[in-house]
Chain A
């Protein structure tokens, strides 16, 4: 199938090498380890494997089968058809990292565009060629800030309203190292950004918040930025990039680092990955930034051309002293985001962001009016996701919602015991008014039945 040699060719090649049998090529492997009996199924034809995988796929219910209000870090959005058609070009997806610029200008051009678009969106000056996801992007922000101060400010102060899986990732990376990870009010994401400041001192390199935060709330970060800078630390902001079609970019608040989960920009849900880590910062910190960076230059024929630059930061050059260990990144997903933003452009991104905003606000207003339900933060602005207090445990409500064909919002008590009966509801351009109304009807009926 994927190994083209005929038996005759194999014999000819073995003879050319000067050995008799294939086994002779493995004479250096100790005999007692050689040729284990692998208990794997027998090979399948393409017809059989397709049927097998199709049956596994059919065992899942998709967000197309349901009406979905589930978000919490991964969102169901419309992906224009052209995005995947570009991604399916073998010239892009079967290429390696563009180390040889003469035969990689397609990838390099696209990464330069990606970097430019990320800066346009975030209001920052430089961006890398991508990281794995939103969680590891925050971990790299902690690492970069540590290096900006050459380890003299070992503390990172993270908001308790960051995505709990991002916080967990940062803890895993650094808890046993010499970096101090401090999460004031950890476990209580209802804390507001100003509640972080008590923990910020002259040993703090980074203060990291999320915008909108995990509970969907959007705060003006101007005062926070000022206070953080007054203490000499950097401000990092993890964003939902789609929200930046409508909301003020972190660069305007004075953020020093912006990270994001790029999945909303044209990447399918795909059960959690592969997604896309975005990372942008100020130009003065570019030499401390993790990941690949493409720069503009010229080739020997006088053509404008692109090339990986500042590689002395990276592991293949600097090894143990590199800014990060990252090598493989999520380049193809960065291409997806680039094509997505290229297709939508200014008007399209504004329109889809506005649709998310309007529909979520319609939903919030509908649900807040239901008996037994109320908004957890009625005074705080939000984008496409908000927290609803419910009269019953969320798990119970969600079980009942499945009967209505509705995938309910995220049960916040899974991460925060104090947020028992709090549901995080995401509404995107994929949800029609009728669907929102059905959710309202269903929630009302579920509460009524429980009360009866």
Chain B
């Protein structure tokens, strides 16, 4: 193996002693001495100019795939277009430069943003109360589990400690349950991709806290027995938690509250178009039915005074039996501004169009690809579907190869190897913001790859070819654990 080449240096390699990118004003007050025992003696930060830094990150940005560049059919992630106006609104000085501990009378506009968003989200999912505090989906799940437990305990029902999770669930569901000290029991799926009703009922006993269920599930399928599922859990005294990760399929189509769910979390960074930011920030509001409203984390925003002349006055209020706060302050306010802008832009009819086109696009792709790729639960899907990335007559080809080859066509791969119940899973979620032209180009690429898998599998194994980087050695990374530039051997 030849010497490793460096495509783009790191900050530390671009550093020159004495250089800096920002100057601050000179002090206009006398200097104060720092006690010797507390004074820092060395600060090993790199030293660069503004030009160095801007060019470095601009060049790095060219190494990324992104929604702004091309199709991003990453299943379960809802990589829809992130409207530009939302970004501008979040940066309005009246939103970006307010301190979370300012007196409430000086932030009535911000409280109104939160109040409207609370009201609209409640309406969209058909719930009685909502807290915007959770920072992301998994954080919302943890919050929801804590609410369910607090509800049972408030009724003196202390022996409940079991959470049921379908085997198709996101990994965060069992992890969130376990983190709050619950026992997790997995329920298998049946041959139509629904939760196995008999197995579910067998676990519905008086130790049941609740069921966490994603609907549509991670196969992209609407749970066909949803009414019986909810009934079974409720009959055992348990609560039904909806993972709203896949809400994009149901906007204006059906509401969790109407279906009898007790708790649901939403992902503003999926359904409500706020950007994923290369991994975050998200926002995971939790909405609950009437009997759980008092347990919500807070503070939340309420109308504290109604004045006919001047309109309502908003205030921050802690729900009566709140589980407490789940993070500092009120949640990811900047994300809320973006989501509210989106909801106001679309209105009720626009949101329903979102769900319809998201489902239309997914079914269109499913039907176009079903003769080329095996789709194990091939029925009407919602916003996504799961295909198998393998063929009997192409034994060496795996889903990963297909994914990597897709990059050569300018597309981001689908989600790989999830859900776990499908072999060599390729989970495809096109979202509503993709045009027919893009979908057709993706279908053409997928069909070409299927042909190559038989005729020229090497081109798949060696893919990607046209990206700035090839496949990365994950084993080496895990074995050598170079996690900072201080881990380099000759660091001096």
Asked if A316 CB lies within 8 Å of chain B CBs, one says yes
Asked if A292 CB lies within 8 Å of chain B CBs, one says yes
Would B357 and A133 count as touching, CB distance under 8 A?
no
Sample 28 A-B pairs with CB under 8 A, ordered by A number: A1-B346, A2-B273, A14-B360, A17-B360, A43-B347, A49-B344, A55-B109, A92-B64, A92-B277, A94-B276, A103-B65, A120-B43, A165-B327, A169-B328, A269-B99, A271-B98, A273-B100, A273-B328, A303-B4, A309-B478, A316-B418, A325-B141, A325-B179, A326-B138, A339-B53, A339-B57, A358-B31, A362-B30
Known: A54-B92, A100-B403, A331-B278. 16 other contacts (CB 8 A): A13-B364, A16-B368, A28-B379, A56-B112, A59-B94, A89-B61, A98-B279, A112-B485, A113-B11, A113-B485, A273-B135, A274-B135, A333-B277, A346-B44, A351-B24, A429-B25
Shortest A131–chain B CB gap in Å is 9
Asked if B309 CB lies within 8 Å of chain A CBs, one says no
Shortest B297–chain A CB gap in Å is 7
Given A56-B112, A325-B172, residue A172 in contact with residue B102 (CB < 8 A): no
How far does the alpha carbon of A430 sit from the alpha carbon of B23 in the complex, in Å? Answer: 14
Shortest B382–chain A CB gap in Å is 8
A319-359 vs B, Cβ < 8 Å mask (1 yes, 0 no): 11110111111111101000101111111111110110111
How far does the alpha carbon of A107 sit from the alpha carbon of B63 in the complex, in Å? Answer: 8
Would A60 and B108 count as touching, CB distance under 8 A?
yes
How far does the alpha carbon of A35 sit from the alpha carbon of B487 in the complex, in Å? Answer: 57
Q: B174: nearest residue on chain A (CB-CB)?
A: A320
User: Please, which residues of chain A bring their CB within 8 A of the CB of B35?
Assistant: 381
Would B153 and A176 count as touching, CB distance under 8 A?
yes
B439-454 vs A, Cβ < 8 Å mask (1 yes, 0 no): 0000000000000000
Would B82 and A94 count as touching, CB distance under 8 A?
yes
Shortest B466–chain A CB gap in Å is 10
Q: Which of A16, A126, A320 has the most CB of B within 10 A?
A: A320
Would B478 and A112 count as touching, CB distance under 8 A?
no
Asked if B259 CB lies within 8 Å of chain A CBs, one says yes
Asked if B168 CB lies within 8 Å of chain A CBs, one says no
Given A320-B175, A345-B19, A362-B32, residue A43 in contact with residue B276 (CB < 8 A): no
How far does the alpha carbon of A400 sit from the alpha carbon of B253 in the complex, in Å? Answer: 52
Q: B473: nearest residue on chain A (CB-CB)?
A: A297
User: Please, which residues of chain B bring their CB within 8 A of the CB of A329?
Assistant: 136, 279-281
Given A29-B254, A261-B328, A357-B34, residue A63 in contact with residue B99 (CB < 8 A): yes
Interface-lining segment among B71-79, B196-204, B233-241: B71-79
Which of A58, A91, A133, A407 has a CB less than 8 Å from the CB of B135?
A133
From 16 to 72 in chain B, residues with beta carbon under 8 angstroms from any chain A beta carbon are: 18-25, 27-32, 34-35, 37-41, 43-48, 50, 53-54, 56-58, 60-69, 72
Would A40 and B277 count as touching, CB distance under 8 A?
no
User: Please, which residues of chain B bring their CB within 8 A of the CB of A305?
Assistant: 469, 472
Would A320 and B353 count as touching, CB distance under 8 A?
no
Q: B143: nearest residue on chain A (CB-CB)?
A: A172
User: Please, which residues of chain A bring their CB within 8 A of the CB of B146?
Assistant: 172-173, 176
Shortest B243–chain A CB gap in Å is 12
Asked if A159 CB lies within 8 Å of chain B CBs, one says no
Asked if A299 CB lies within 8 Å of chain B CBs, one says yes
Q: B139: nearest residue on chain A (CB-CB)?
A: A132
User: Please, which residues of chain A bring their CB within 8 A of the CB of B172?
Assistant: 315-316, 325, 327
User: Please, which residues of chain B bring their CB within 8 A of the CB of A191?
Assistant: none
Would B21 and A343 count as touching, CB distance under 8 A?
yes
- How many B residues touch the partner, as a band? 35 or more
Would B360 and A13 count as touching, CB distance under 8 A?
yes
User: Please, which residues of chain A bring their CB within 8 A of the CB of B324?
Assistant: 168-169, 171-172
Q: B335: nearest residue on chain A (CB-CB)?
A: A274
With an 8 Å Cβ cutoff, the count of chain A residues facing the other chain is: 198
Would A357 and B32 count as touching, CB distance under 8 A?
yes
Q: A8: nearest residue on chain B (CB-CB)?
A: B436
Would A103 and B412 count as touching, CB distance under 8 A?
yes
Shortest B427–chain A CB gap in Å is 12
Asked if B303 CB lies within 8 Å of chain A CBs, one says no
User: Please, which residues of chain B bring their CB within 8 A of the CB of A330?
Assistant: 135, 277, 279-281
Interface-lining segment among A65-73, A195-203, A228-236: A65-73
Q: B324: nearest residue on chain A (CB-CB)?
A: A172
Asked if A418 CB lies within 8 Å of chain B CBs, one says no
Would A218 and B38 count as touching, CB distance under 8 A?
yes
A30-63 vs B, Cβ < 8 Å mask (1 yes, 0 no): 1001111011111110100110111111111111
Given A92-B277, A136-B327, A359-B27, residue A125 in contact with residue B11 (CB < 8 A): no
Would A166 and B471 count as touching, CB distance under 8 A?
no
Asked if A96 CB lies within 8 Å of chain B CBs, one says yes
User: Please, which residues of chain B bring their CB within 8 A of the CB of A82?
Assistant: 21, 50, 53-54
From 174 to 197 in chain A, residues with beta carbon under 8 angstroms from any chain B beta carbon are: 174, 176-179
Would A269 and B97 count as touching, CB distance under 8 A?
yes
Given A9-B436, A327-B172, residue A58 in contact with residue B34 (CB < 8 A): no
Asked if A150 CB lies within 8 Å of chain B CBs, one says no
User: Please, which residues of chain A bring their CB within 8 A of the CB of B467?
Assistant: 102-103
How far does the alpha carbon of A274 sit from the alpha carbon of B95 in the complex, in Å? Answer: 12
User: Please, which residues of chain A bring their CB within 8 A of the CB of B226?
Assistant: 30
Asked if A317 CB lies within 8 Å of chain B CBs, one says yes
Would A271 and B484 count as touching, CB distance under 8 A?
no
Would B328 and A10 count as touching, CB distance under 8 A?
no
B102-113 vs A, Cβ < 8 Å mask (1 yes, 0 no): 110011111011
User: Please, which residues of chain B bring their CB within 8 A of the CB of A310?
Assistant: 478, 481
Would A84 and B91 count as touching, CB distance under 8 A?
yes
How far does the alpha carbon of A17 sit from the alpha carbon of B344 in the complex, in Å? Answer: 32
User: Please, which residues of chain A bring their CB within 8 A of the CB of B90?
Assistant: 270
Shortest B407–chain A CB gap in Å is 5
Given A43-B346, A58-B109, A339-B57, residue A126 in contact with residue B138 (CB < 8 A): no
Interface-lining segment among A245-253, A369-377, A438-446: A245-253
How far does the alpha carbon of A4 sit from the alpha carbon of B326 in the complex, in Å? Answer: 39
Q: Which of B80, B361, B481 has the most CB of A within 10 A?
A: B481
How far does the alpha carbon of A60 sit from the alpha carbon of B15 in the complex, in Å? Answer: 41
Asked if B384 CB lies within 8 Å of chain A CBs, one says no
How far does the alpha carbon of A410 sit from the alpha carbon of B101 in the complex, in Å? Answer: 8
The 4 A-B residue pairs with the shortest CB-CB distance in the complex, in nearest-first order: A57-B94, A272-B329, A59-B109, A332-B277
How far does the alpha carbon of A331 sit from the alpha carbon of B136 in the complex, in Å? Answer: 12
Shortest B173–chain A CB gap in Å is 8
User: Please, which residues of chain B bring their CB within 8 A of the CB of A126?
Assistant: 483-484
User: Please, which residues of chain B bring their CB within 8 A of the CB of A28?
Assistant: 221-222, 224, 379-380
User: Please, which residues of chain A bring their CB within 8 A of the CB of B346?
Assistant: 1-2, 43
B389-409 vs A, Cβ < 8 Å mask (1 yes, 0 no): 000000000000001100100
Shortest B59–chain A CB gap in Å is 8
Which of A64, A86, A172, A331 has a CB less than 8 Å from the CB of B279?
A331
Asked if B421 CB lies within 8 Å of chain A CBs, one says no
B161-181 vs A, Cβ < 8 Å mask (1 yes, 0 no): 000000000111011111111
Asked if B285 CB lies within 8 Å of chain A CBs, one says no
How far does the alpha carbon of A110 sit from the alpha carbon of B10 in the complex, in Å? Answer: 9
Asked if A130 CB lies within 8 Å of chain B CBs, one says yes
How far does the alpha carbon of A25 sit from the alpha carbon of B2 in the complex, in Å? Answer: 55
Asked if A416 CB lies within 8 Å of chain B CBs, one says no
Would A93 and B278 count as touching, CB distance under 8 A?
yes
User: Please, which residues of chain A bring their CB within 8 A of the CB of B68?
Assistant: 90-91, 94
Would A325 and B176 count as touching, CB distance under 8 A?
yes
How far does the alpha carbon of A433 sit from the alpha carbon of B26 in the complex, in Å? Answer: 12
How far does the alpha carbon of A349 sit from the alpha carbon of B394 in the complex, in Å? Answer: 57
How far does the alpha carbon of A26 sit from the alpha carbon of B259 in the complex, in Å? Answer: 15
Asked if B155 CB lies within 8 Å of chain A CBs, one says no
Would B124 and A176 count as touching, CB distance under 8 A?
no
Would A57 and B5 count as touching, CB distance under 8 A?
no
How far does the alpha carbon of A336 sit from the alpha carbon of B178 in the complex, in Å? Answer: 32
Q: A100: nearest residue on chain B (CB-CB)?
A: B413
Would A38 and B124 count as touching, CB distance under 8 A?
yes
Would B171 and A322 count as touching, CB distance under 8 A?
yes
User: Please, which residues of chain A bring their CB within 8 A of the CB of B56?
Assistant: 342
Would A173 and B254 count as touching, CB distance under 8 A?
no
Q: A91: nearest residue on chain B (CB-CB)?
A: B61
Q: Which of B24, B47, B90 has the most CB of A within 10 A?
A: B24
